[in-house]
Structure 1
Amino acid sequence: MRTRRFVLPLSALFLPLSAFAANAPSSAPVFTLGSVDVHARRGSSATVAEHTLDAARIQQLDRDTVGEAVAVLPGASLSRNSRNEDMLYLRGFDPRQVPVFLDGVPLYVPYDGYVDFGRFTTFDLAQIQVASGGASLLYGPNILGGAINLVSRRPERPFEGNLRLGIADGGERKAALNLGGRRGDWYYQLGWSQLKADTFPLPDGFRDYKSVPTDTGDDRRNADRDDRRLSFKLGYTPRDGDEYALGYARQDGEKGNPVYTGSARGGIRYWRWPWWDKDSLYFVGNTRLGRHATLRTRVYRDTYGNGLEAYTDGSYATGLDNGSFPSIYDDRTVGGSVTLAGTALERHELQLAIHYKDDRHSDRNRNAPTKDYRDVTTSVAVEDRFALTAASHLRFGLGHDRREARRVYYWPTGSADATNAVLEYVQQLAPDRQWYASAARRTRFPTIKDRYSARMGAALPNPDLAPEHATHLELGLRGRWWEGAQVQAAVFHSLIDDLIQNEVVASTACGGSTCNRAQNIGRARHLGVELGLQQQLAGDWELQGSYAWLRRTNLENRNVALLDSPRQRLFLVLGWAALPQLRLQATLEAEQGRRVSYANAAAPVRELPGFGTVGVKASWMPRDGLGLDLGVRNVGDKWYELADGYPMPGRTWFVNVNRRF
């Protein structure tokens, strides 16, 4: 007889904020094939390293982009860099080290490993799954610090959908429509959205420190955006346990790039991005092989292109035309994976995954040669969940990755290998309480840009860069530890070896002088604590919050700071169901200890002032399925920055209309 596991589903640990409000949005049905762990999505034990945000909570918090949404979780923080890109950091690991997926399909850009999380909207998502250091090896290669998986919707009724409309200060307007239906063995899901803004309001007290200021009014110049997204899925379920779906997602973006307004002296970039486009075509299938085995397959093709134009001044009338601008990137990826899951062995749940990924990058400029690159990455991993007792289990995984440079402009090709492992113990103390401990060894292969970019003539490429390595240790607990509360707590330690950092070198290739070169010379430690609480209070009040403390140390050179993630971060939400049709909400977002780069040779690093911003919102549901929101972000009109010289929006009023049918 198979031992019955006494396991607490993670979805039961943290209910969405909306669960306590009669007029709250409902969660969207989840496309379970889009999850990576086959067994965990069929009612088995889920990886404790994973946190889940559902559509109801994302909408309740008005998080329209993936970056804004994930930043509410413990250990996650958002940064906005000089390229007007939203960068997510997870326990101090940057987007190159925490790749993003759509329904298990990798979306990160082949050239540099980054994605702009401000371009990815949340309107058509059912869930966002965020895994940290103990993430499943089934995700594939390059998950040095974890993984972020965007899971799409799957309809349950013959016809269903929702419509969202909204306006806000700065000329912001949004519209999103999702339609889906199920007929017999077939289902379809369609999503369309647009998020557009002309500018954003500058906060009170803002000062432009440049000698020739550009932002002299109430609004930020060259801060416009236009992001359009279309998604479609067609699915077929011929029998219980079998499901096949063809999915497509396309997004077209355009954005400005506000100029630097800080006190450091240096060159000012007058940049615009006339296009930032990405599309993904993929097939996901799940086939039941007898009583004890399941085969999941993924095949995908992903393309990404953007254009960057530079101008001589703030009028944006005269463009630069040289060896660097206009800059056009053209990236393409084809790949697939096969995951075989079996439960034939007593008390074991085995999964074997094989991945193949073919990345191609083309860098084009009419004044310079076209540069073509091709990387092929393969990965094999096996994981086993072994039920030690009815109330405890052990998860063990081992994997091997390989990256080969098949085509390179000018420089020699090469290859690299990496071995990964994970070990996790989970002890169930009660139906709704558990503690766990995990250890993991992870790697990240250097990107094409890491190895071959000359950084516009300021650096020397290094095709021999080796992978980065990280060893993660974590101890934590989750569950209902007192009446009306759900609690999570974790302490973690990550040691990173062979960290890629720039070193000043002398070479004839540098014109007889010195220049920077990326080297595997870094060692770092990330030590932190994460806390999460959801507390039901008296009188239809509820409180939810997350807190994280993170200390990052450069062990190779303690005088060189590790940048762009805060030392402490707090996120709180207080909600009150004042009436059956009325819900009031207040949020507090605060952080301290963020160090960023500073364009000053005497002091290249600056610690930004800590800040706290408050938001308020009233949600009214006059009838079932119809909701109206009125709210204010940054009520105090606080001037704060996530990067030196790039102010975040001031006080912003918004109105939303939500219709569910």
Structure 2
Amino acid sequence: MRTCRFVLPLSALLLPLTAAAADVASPPPVFTLGTIDVHAERGTSPAVAERSLDAERIQQLDRNTVGDAVSVLPGVSLARNSRNEDMVYLRGFDARQVPVFLDGIPLYVPYDGYVDFGRFTTFDLAEIQVASGGASLLYGPNILGGAINLISRRPERPLEGDMRLGIADGGERKAAFNLGGRRGDWYFQLGASILKADEFPLPDGFVDYKRVPTDTGKNRRNASRDDRRLSLKLGYTPREGDEYAIGYARQDGEKDNPVYTGTARSGIRYWRWPWWDKDSLYFIGNTRLGEHTTLRTRAYRDTYGNGLDAYTDGTYQVAIDNSSFPSIYDDSTVGGSVTLATTALPRQELQFAIHYKQDQHSERNPHSPSKDFRDVTTSVAIEDRIALTDTSHLRVGIGHDRRDAKRVYFWPTGSTDATNAVLEYVQQLAPDQQWYASAAQRTRFPTIKDRYSARMGAALPNPDLKAEHALHFEVGVRGRWWEGGQLQAALFQSRIDDLIQNAVVASRECGGSTCNQAQNIGKARHQGVELGLRQRLGDDWDLQTSYTWLRRTNLEDRSVALLDSPRQRLFLAVGWQLLPQLKLQATLEAEQGRKVSYADAARPVRDLPGYGSAGFKASWSPHEAWDFDLGVRNIGDKWYELADGYPMPGRTWFANANWRF
């Protein structure tokens, strides 16, 4: 276990803030350079049909991680797998197919394309934007099912920020601090946070079904976490339309993996991650080239490393030492993009983008050779937003991506390419009402793991895997349709071809028997309905709700289920301003129809029962700069799971203190 950590310099930072506390800042402004569409106005862009969640709402709902935060939005659901990772699904597309970005910089892990959304905290964010299948081509390659963009803060006052502290059952504690300021043409932003927990409460009625139970008390064993994050940004605005910023974000993570507790007799493992670390250094610049043209540049370097230790049993005393464990990953990415945007043509907003991304993966183990891989991905795209009338426009775009395997352990190198396109029509019915229809062709290149992993001897690599393809159709409405209300509604369908799925093959490399191999053999259809509503009810009540109905069909083999996303999901939050200083909030999350894998050859899929989990929070504000929260999650102490044999936390009490200046 490592002891090297960065320390929050709170005493040094708090001294100049006393005088500023009375001048309370508004919700943190968004770092506009971190958005993707150069010409689009924040929050009103019809081009990308983005769902967004700002920092104020994230804090109000007490969502500490990105996974928990985005799960309140229409079309989004959360899964927690056997590796104790939070996985986000958008309309049934997983995290490999819906990559995550920080200020437009890709964050996904080069080896397998995943990120653990439970490792990314929300304390230093200004906004989270979620775009679905019609997302802008300007994001770059691999946006098969959409994109998630985490947008940082950009200060507007000479000095502003916030501080929060919190505790919860299971030894959970958090501390976060943000400080920003602007002086003339320069600004800075600093954020630091800690989110830790020792365990979490087990729900009422829970039973550990293993032959040798380990979770027999009130709390979940081997469920600790320790996530620490530091973010810095320095910006310069020499003239109107020009802005340049250097950003850095580092997170040090450490987590345990709770043991499987279900009824299957296989799949039990005792794992711990002594480190899960990531850092990103990036530059973003926006340069005005005359009256009608701007140039946006991005350059970045991102590194990621983790270690995985395995043990023989639940005592965690004897470590497994073989050709698989301990396992050490060391990944890095360098890349950049250039986007040229112009309004020189009448009634058009034209944008042209070029992307370059180099991914490297190194896999080490004391008892086996080091395995090194390197991929280079390039992309070009052009999008044009054409004003057909004063109240309607058409967005049309086309792009081409290419991936070259430059270095591969043992297997031959190769390349593949793919073409993407998008077409969207938007009709403005009123200044704040519109309907839209879109069609898009999107692709995703297989990851290094997809192509070359032997799955600990259980699979045969396939270096010739091609890109997955999806054809998206969507029609919807969004805007303010009545007093105090905002509504968005969408009907969507996606047809996925060349989906990467496992096939059983016989080969000499399988040891004279059969084994699995990833192949482009899958066909699937995702279709559904999304509804989202924000409503003010008088002066004292507010309501937020989102509902998703999703049907996923395996067109290649309808008897094989598509897993890990629910058929129906509902989120509801109701707030009541009981007194000027006291606000109450009740939440409900409910879902039905989730299928998950089950470690039994006779029954490989399990239908999880539906559930509903309610929460409650009281917020007291004795001063406009201060808030104190007391609340409870999962009031009913409901036993529910998002993966077979991995219970979610039971009733959990929490308390927070928040200060804004």
TM norm structure 2: 0.96
Give CA-to-partner distance per residue, 1:403-459, whole Å, 9 cap, x none: 000000000000000000000000011112110000000000000000000000000
Alpha-carbon shift at residue 44 of structure 1 (Å): 7.4
On the 8 A contact 1:25/1:56 being kept in 2, the answer is no
Indicate the percent of aligned positions where both proteins have the same amino acid.
80
Whichever residue aligns with residue 95 of structure 2, its letter is: P
**Is residue 2:366 matched to residue 1:366?**
yes
**What amino acid maps onto 1:638 in structure 2?**
K
Return 33-42 or 161-170, whichever deviates more. Answer: 33-42
Q: 8 Å contact 2:25–2:161 — kept in the other structure?
A: no
- Please tell me the root mean square deviation across aligned C-alpha atoms, in Å: 1.1
Report matched runs for 1:2-81 at 5 Å: 26-41=26-41, 45-81=45-81
Counterpart secondary structure, 2:67: helix
1:246 is matched with which residue?
Answer: 246
Q: Aligned equivalents of 1:537 and 1:159: distance in 2?
A: 35
The residue correspondences of 1:184-333 to structure 2 (distance < 5 A) are 184-333=184-333
Provide the C-alpha distance between the structure 1 equivalents of 2:127 and 2:479, rounded to a whole number of angstroms: 21
Give the Cα separation in 1 of the matches to 2:249 and 2:543: 36
- Is the 2:395–2:425 contact (alpha carbons within 8 Å) kept by the matching residues of 1? yes
Question: What does residue 162 of structure 1 align with?
Answer: 162
> How many angstroms apart in 1 are the aligned matches of 2:485 and 2:247?
39
CA distance in 2, matches of 1:42, 1:55: 14
SS of the equivalent of 1:40 reads coil
- The residue that corresponds to 1:7 in the other structure is none
Distance 2:141 2:536 in 1: 40
State yes or no: 1:348 paired with 2:348.
yes
> Does the Cα contact within 8 Å between 1:492 and 1:528 map onto a contact in 2?
yes
For residues 436-447 of structure 1, the aligned pairs below 5 Å read 436-447=436-447
**Partner amino acid for 1:567?**
R
SS at match of 1:117: coil
Q: Is the 8 A contact 1:82 1:643 kept in 2?
A: yes
Amino acid at match of 2:136: S
Contact 2:194 2:228 in 1 (8 A): yes
1:573 is matched with which residue? 573
Residue type matched to 2:339 in 1? T
Work out whether 1:547 is the aligned partner of 2:552: no
Count, aligned residues: 638
Match status 1:594 vs 2:589: no
Between the aligned partners of 1:25 and 1:67, the Cα distance in structure 2 is 27
CA apart distance, 1:580: 1.1
Question: What is the alpha-carbon distance in structure 1 between the residues aligned to residue 416 and residue 446 of structure 2?
Answer: 9
Which string of whole-angstrom CA distances, capped at 9 and with x for unpartnered residues, describes residues 454-498 of structure 1?
Answer: 000000000000000000000000122233321111000000000
Q: Look up the match of 1:643.
A: 643
* Amino acid in structure 1 at the alignment position of 2:463: P
Give deviations 1:628-659, integer Å, cap 9, x for gaps: 00000000000000000000000000000000
Matched, 1:467 2:467: yes
Shift of 1:538: 3.2
The whole-number CA distance in structure 1 between the counterparts of 2:107 and 2:70 is 16
Structure 1: how far apart are the matches of 2:399 and 2:431?
Answer: 32
Q: Which amino acid aligns with 1:59?
A: Q
Contact 2:298 2:337 in 1 (8 A): yes
Q: TM-score, normalised by structure 1?
A: 0.96
**Equivalent residues of 1:309, 1:320 under 8 A apart:** yes
What is the distance in 1 between the residues matched to 2:541 and 2:165?
28
| Match of residue 533 from structure 2 | 533
Q: Distance in 2 between matches of 1:466 and 1:261?
A: 37
Which amino acid in the other structure matches residue 484 of structure 2? G
| Aligned counterparts of 1:442 and 1:49: Cα–Cα separation in 2 | 16
Provide the rounded CA distance (Å) in 2 between the counterparts of 1:464 and 1:539: 61
Q: Secondary structure at the match of 2:114?
A: coil
- 1:43 is displaced (CA, Å) by 8.8
Q: Does structure 2 conserve the Cα–Cα contact (< 8 Å) formed by 1:30 and 1:152?
A: yes
Which amino acid is the alignment partner of residue 536 of structure 1? R
Q: Tell me if 1:604 matches 2:604.
A: yes
- Residue 393 of structure 2 corresponds to 393
1:16 — aligned with what? none
Per the alignment, residue 18 of structure 1 pairs with: none
Supply the AA of the counterpart residue of 2:474: E
**TM-fit CA distance, 1:25:** 9.5
Shift of 1:298: 0.3
**Structure 1 unpaired stretches of 5+:** 1-23
> Distance between the aligned counterparts of 1:202 and 1:25, measured in 2?
39
Q: Distance in 2 between matches of 1:533 and 1:133?
A: 21
Structure 1 CA distance for aligned equivalents of residues 44 and 317 of structure 2: 59
Moved more, 537-546 or 159-168: 537-546
Q: How does 1:51-130 map to 2 (within 5 A)?
A: 51-130=51-130
- Alignment partner of 1:151 is 2:151: yes
Q: Which residue of 1 aligns with 2:421?
A: 421
3-state DSSP class of the match of 1:480? strand
Matched residue, 2:8: none
Partner SS state of residue 56, structure 2: helix
In the TM superposition, what whole-angstrom CA distance separates every residue of 1:129-171 from its partner, at most 9, and x where no partner exists? 1000000000000000000000000110111110000000000
Is the Cα–Cα contact under 8 Å of residues 295 and 341 in structure 2 kept in the other structure? yes
Give yes or no for contact 1:169–1:654 (8 Å, CA) kept in 2: yes
Which 10-residue stretch deviates more, 36-45 or 352-361? 36-45
Q: Deviations over 1:317-356 (max 9, x none)?
A: 1100000000000000000000000000000000000000
Decide whether the 8 Å contact of 1:200 with 1:219 is kept in 2. Answer: yes
Equivalent residue number for residue 448 of structure 2: 448
Which SS does the other structure have where 1:239 is aligned?
Answer: coil
The question of whether the paired residues in 2 share the 8 Å contact of 1:98 and 1:147 is answered with: yes
Matched-pair contact (CA < 8 Å) for 2:25–2:160: no
The CA deviation at 1:211 is: 1.1
How many Å apart are 1:539 and its aligned residue? 5.2
Contact kept, 8 Å, 1:166 with 1:174, in 2: the verdict is yes
Contact 2:255–2:275 (CA<8 Å) still a contact in 1?
yes
Return the offset for 1:48. Answer: 4.5
Per-residue Cα deviation, 1:27-85 (whole angstroms, up to 9, x for no partner): 21111000011001479744242111100000000000000000000000000000000
Q: Is the 8 A contact 2:267 2:599 kept in 1?
A: no
Kept after mapping to 1: 8 A contact 2:179/2:191:
yes
